[in-house]
Structures are given as C-alpha cells and as structure tokens.
Amino acid sequence: MLLPSQAFATRRHFLSGVGLFGLASTLPTNLLSLASGRTVPVGSQSHAVPGSAIKNRAPLAPSVFHLLPLGSIRAHGWLDQQLRTQANGLSGHLDETWPDVGPNSGWLGGSGESWERGPYFLDGIVPLAYLLNDSILKTKAQRFVDWTLDHQAANGMIGPASNNDWWPRIVILKALTQYQELTGDQRVISVMEKYFQYQLAVLPSRPLRDWGRFRWQDELLSVIWLYNRTGSAPLIDLAHLLHKQGYDWMAQYANFQYKSRITREYLKLNAGNGLDDLALATHGVNNGQAIKTGPVWSLVSGSLADRSAALKMISELNRYHGLPNGMFSCDEHLAGLDPSQGSELCTVVEYMFSLEQSLAITGDPSLGDRLEQLAFNALPGAFTDDMWAHQYNQEPNQVECSLHHKPWVTDGPESNLYGLEPNFGCCTANFSQGWPKFTNSLFMFCGVQDNDRQDGIVAAAYAPCEVRTSLRGTAVHVLEETNYPFHGRVQLTINPATPMSFPLLLRIPAWAAGTSISVNGQSLPSPTAASFARIERTWKLGDRVEIAFPMATRTSRWFHDSIAVERGPLVFSYGIGEDWVKLRDHGMTADWQVFPTGQWNYALSLDSEFPAKSLEVTETEIGEGPFMRYHTPVQLSVKARKLNEWRADDGAANPLPQSPVADDQPEETITLIPYGAAKLRITAFPRCKT
C-alpha cells in the first residue's frame, strides 16, 4: 500500500489524489463544487464537504476550540493502517463472536445484555465505520442506531425496557450524536429532545445513581450538543439538574484525599460496598471520565476556575498515581506510583476522550501532549499487533502476563492476559472508541463568538491525515504528511478553494523547545514550547507548512527515582523476549498468557549530567504496522547492567530498588523500543550509580 508521502510525491500527484488536479478550465469547477457542498470524487470514495464547526449558543460560555464536525478528517499512512487493523480485528467482528453485542443484544430488541455493552460498542464503531467508509461496519452500527431511534417509548424513554438505569443511556447519546453529525439523520434530534424532556421531568423523583451519578458530565456533553443545535431553553435547566445531582468531582480534587494505593479493606469491598461513594470516587474509569467535568461544566457556569479544573485533576493523579506511560494507576481503583500496578483499558480510552473534549474547550496545549502520550503508548500497549486481543490491565513494568493475583488491588487473576474479555468485558465493548476519536481530534476549529474573521484551523495533535472543512463558507482542505510520532517532520499542505486569510494554529508540545516552522520554504520565528504557534496569512492553494520537531531523547523520573526514557511523545521500553502460550480458544479469538524468555532486571547506566547523551537513536521506515514488536520505526540503544537483586514474584516485578543503585555486573548494550510495541516490558528503570 502506498503511504501518502509516496502516493503524493509530487504536487501533480497530490492534486490528482484529492480530486483537485485537472485542466485549467476544470479546476475552478472542482473548487466550486467543494465550496458549494456537492460531493467530489476522492480516490474511490466520495465526500460531502462538511460544514464548519458549530459555536456555543448563548448563554453558554464560548469554547476556545471546537471539534470539527465528524467526517471532516480522514486518516492516512500509519494511522489509516492502524484503523484498518482495528476494523479487521475484534472491533469489526465483535458482534460475530461475543453474544453481549450480538443479535440478541437488548439494544437490538433481544433478551441479551441490555446495559452498557451495546452502547459502548456503538460509541466506537460508528466513528470507525465512517472513518474507513466501511459499508459492512456501517450496516452493523445502523442496526443498533435504528433500533434505538425506532423504539422510543411514548413517554420519551429510550433503550431496552428491561432496565431504566440512566448510565447506559448516557453512552448511547454519545454514539447517537456522532452518528447524527456523520449522516445528518434528523431522527436523532427529535429522539434526544423527547428523551431529555422526559428525563427533566423524572430526575427529581428518580435521581442519578451510582455510575450515572459519577459520570454525569458525559451526558452534559450531549445536552450541550443538542442545545447548540436547537436552543431549547429547558436543556439548560437539565444541565443544572445533572450538575446538582451529579458527584462533585471538583470538590474531590480541590482537596484531594486519595493519595495512596486504595485497598479492598479500605473500600470494604468484601462487605459488598462496590457501589458506595468511596469505591466509585476512587474508581479508575470514573476518574478518567471525570477529567472533563470542569471544562464541560464551565460552558454552563462560565467559571474560569471550573475550566482549569482538568489541569488540577491531572496534576493530582500524576503526583500520587502517575505512571511513565502517561496513565494513572487503576486496577481497578487508584493504585499508587509503583509501575508494576496496572491501568484499565477503559480508563485509557475514557481519559483520551476527556482530554479531547477538554482540549477543545480550554485550548490548553498540555492536554494535547497528554493525549498524544496516551494514544501513542498506553493505547497500543494494551493490544496484540492484530488487535484481536486486548488486556484489561496493562503495566509499565510488565514482566509476565499470566494468571496471578499480585499486584492487583481489586481485580481478578486474568487482568493482564491478552484476550477477548480478560477479567471483565467492559473494555471489550468500550475500547473501539480510542483510535477513531483520536483521529477525529487531530485538527480542531478555532474562532471567537460573533466574529467569523477569526475562524481558523488548529493542529491539536499530529498524525498523518487530511482535513476537509469550511471557513466563512469557503472550503479548506489540509493534507498532513508525516511519520510522527516516530519521526519529527510534519508537512501540511493548505488548500483553500480560493485564497483567503485565516489563522492556522500549531500545537508545540512542552518537550519541543527548538521546533522550527517554515511556510513555502521561508522560516518563521522559532515558536515557544507548550503553546500554540499562530500563523495568520492569506493562504492559497498548495501552500506548504513544514514543522521540524526536535526529537531529542530525554529522561523523566518516577517511582523510587527510577528513570523512563522518552523521545517526542513516545515512551521507550526494554522489550523482554516473549513466549505466547494460548490459555484457551475464545470464540473467533483466544486468550493468551505471555511469559518472559530472558532476563529483564536492567539498571540503566547513564551519563549523570546529560543522560540523553547515553542514548543512540536509529530511525527506519514504518513497516507493516507502526507498533509491531519486530519492526519498530525507531529504536534506542543504551548501556545497562543487570541488577540481580531485582526480581519478580507471582508474575509481577517487585518494587524498584531506590535509585541510584550500586551495581558490579558487566555493562551491556540493550535496545529500547516504543512502549506500545513491547508487550512484555520494563519502562521505569533503576539508575546505576556513576
């Protein structure tokens, strides 16, 4: 398959590829058709030109950025490979092999699973199906959508009649809003209006409880989405009622108390207190979802303190539970700083979704840094290369994936197996949203209220893709060619239908001091790290923006002063030799244990003053897949010594010894690979005394 850099090696080929190239007399016609919203051929696909983003309607506070209407962004290159791998794997076939989302699902009118799993599945396969223009996957999604839209109760309630829990409805609303943006299906608007009227009337006597009470902010997103389209005043009342009944996450983090590993005894889980406030307030997925609470609520409250609450939450989680893969520990409750603790896959994808929404509302570039760190490390790290199997819990120092109890705080012995539904099936249903929603967040819209002269485009995160949107009624196409995050060069080709002035904002990560940017070969002043660089000019067809991120290696400090190695947004691990042993066949897939075939107990031997000097980088082209264990597009080599006293117990690496460590073993050179490619790995290393 041709990567974009090969396919569009010349401008002529590029223009041909996006349907803009032709005889001089046909060019304006094509461009006019882009601007007027007709469909135009692109390769073998057709695209309707998407509209522009919808700004918040008064009295909602303005967002700094907005997500582009779904359908605006298409993946290219390695990201397209990744989405196709996902669709060819468990995501695209889950309904064929897992009864919980199969033909007997309650969300298809059957008597089977009727709670969160159908909605979770839909929340991921709707964007995946449309990103890939995959007709089979669209048909699968449509069945769930149609059943939900066609079976609304007379009073307005939606979903299977066998339960009336608000929580799974919160998830189906997220899926329906995406579907509506992609298809324009007006049934969604009327069903949501009627449902919200019903909920507004019923909530006072049947309030939010357990999961729904702790995840109310996800429903608020859908309420705001509908309000921006209809302006119906009772939706603002509903927003206030959700806030009033929902758990007060801002208060939890204003005075954060959960600073160490949360145990079963502390939660009194054995007494059946799993849905008590204490258990739900320290639950990983709930906290991942909660990160968006402040920014989303700030749209209603107008409070800047609410808007910045996401940063405070992330900072507290990082301080007391942070792991070098960008996650916080949660197996299944907050689990402290030891990198042998795990993080649940649901939390990874929900944290990503929170970051995407929070970045759009606040415009804070650090949220984009964190989003990339999760997308390029923790997300692929939890899957087999073919995405037919996943983990429930992943660990940064993961020396064995086998049936064991240690170190999980509250989870079961299958938690870090790769399989169909290790430990519990929530992640099986929920993981599909990770890559598609990330793809849909690569570019965003920026603008100010009541002044469309400031409307512009934001590169919020980087990966190969193309964007089609419109600004002030003019179609704008942007092609992003890059092998980021493996390599540091990003090229954007800007194609407005007619020359027009607008701002282009480029996220400059905090690690990227020294980034250089040029437009059509002319260098711009060096941008500031941890900011958005703003380029405002009259853009014309084929303008080229080149960004060179400095991909210097760097080290970060973790548990017991251990060291992790990073380069750009990638975290690097020592990939331990893997022996995959099938535990059982499981439908169309299987459950796997993975045992180490060699030693892993290395301490890094680094230059004490300039640790990065001790790391040598090798870059190669991206092969069959970006996170394949045996063909990683970037590798580092570093000196290390075995540390005999550091061992494993019951399948988990014992706590790292306090660094620096004295070590008399001979020095070796070891290779580090991207975290996502190493299914057994050491990511936080002891550091040798020098």
Which residues of the chain form contacts with Zn ion (CB under 5 A)? Answer: 344, 346, 426-427
Minimum distance from residue 429 beta carbon to Zn ion (Å): 8
Q: How many Å apart are CA 332 and CA 314, to the nearest integer? A: 18
Quick one: 94 or 346, whose CB is closer to Zn ion?
Answer: 346
Name which of 363 and 407 has its Cβ closer to Zn ion: 407
Write down the least CB distance from residue 234 to Zn ion, Å: 34
C-beta atoms surrounding 230 within 10 Å: 15
- Report d(CA 570, CA 476) in Å as an integer: 31
Q: How far apart are CA 661 and CA 562, in angstroms?
A: 10
**Minimum distance from residue 99 beta carbon to Zn ion (Å):** 18
**SS3 label, residue 123:** helix
Residue partners of 438: CB distance under 8 A and separation at least 6 = 352, 356, 371, 375, 379, 461, 463
Q: Which residues of 419-440 are buried (b: 16+ CB within 10 A; e: fewer)?
A: bbbbbebbbbbbbbbbbbbbbb
Map tokens 């996450």 to a residue: 249
Q: How far is the CB of 121 from Zn ion (least distance, A)?
A: 13
Between 283 and 307, name the residue whose CB sits nearer to Zn ion.
Answer: 283
For the beta carbon of residue 455, count every other beta carbon within 10 angstroms: 20
Q: What are phi and psi of 501, to 5 degrees?
A: -95, 130
Q: In this structure, which long-range contacts are made by residues 316-322, counting pairs with CB atoms below 8 Å and at least 24 apart in sequence? A: 316/253, 316/256, 317/287, 320/256, 320/258, 320/259, 320/260, 322/558
Using an 8 Å Cβ cutoff, are 50 and 471 in contact? no
Residue 685 pairs in a beta bridge with 563
Shortest spacing between CB 409 and Zn ion, in angstroms: 15
CB-wise, 165 or 185, nearer to Zn ion? Answer: 165
- Whichever of 426 and 504 has its CB closer to Zn ion, that residue is 426
Least gap, CB of 286 to Zn ion (angstroms): 11
Alpha-helix runs per DSSP H in 98-248 = 117-131, 135-150, 166-183, 187-202, 210-214, 216-230, 234-245
Closest distance between Zn ion and the C-beta of residue 110, in Å? 23
Instruction: Say how far apart CA 251 and CA 686 lie, in whole Å.
Output: 37
User: Least distance (Å) from Zn ion to the CB of residue 424?
Assistant: 6
Cα separation, 246 vs 214, whole angstroms = 6
Comparison of 134 and 421: residue with beta carbon closer to Zn ion: 421
Of the two residues 182 and 426, which places its CB atom closer to Zn ion in the complex? Answer: 426
Looking at the Cβ atoms of 427 and 656, the one nearer to Zn ion is 427
Q: How far is the CB of 249 from Zn ion (least distance, A)?
A: 19
Cα–Cα distance, 328 to 642 (Å, whole number): 28
Nearest Cα to Cα of residue 32 among 498, 479, 499, 495: 498
Question: What's the closest the beta carbon of residue 297 comes to Zn ion, in angstroms?
Answer: 25
Partners of 635 in beta bridges: 618
Cβ proximity to Zn ion, 14 vs 388, nearer residue: 388
Q: Looking up tokens 């990201």, which residue turns up?
A: 79
Query: Where does 285-405 show beta strands of DSSP type E?
Result: 343-344, 393-394
Closer to Zn ion by Cβ: residue 145 or 427: 427
CB of 164 to Zn ion, least distance (A): 23
Using CA atoms, how far apart are residues 124 and 350, in angstroms rounded to an integer?
11
Distances (CA, A) of 448 to 60, 299, 379, 441, 604: 13, 14, 33, 19, 49
Using the minimum distance from each CB to Zn ion, give the nearer residue, 331 or 578.
331
Distance of closest approach, residue 268 Cβ to Zn ion, in angstroms: 22
Nearer to Zn ion, 426 or 535 (CB): 426
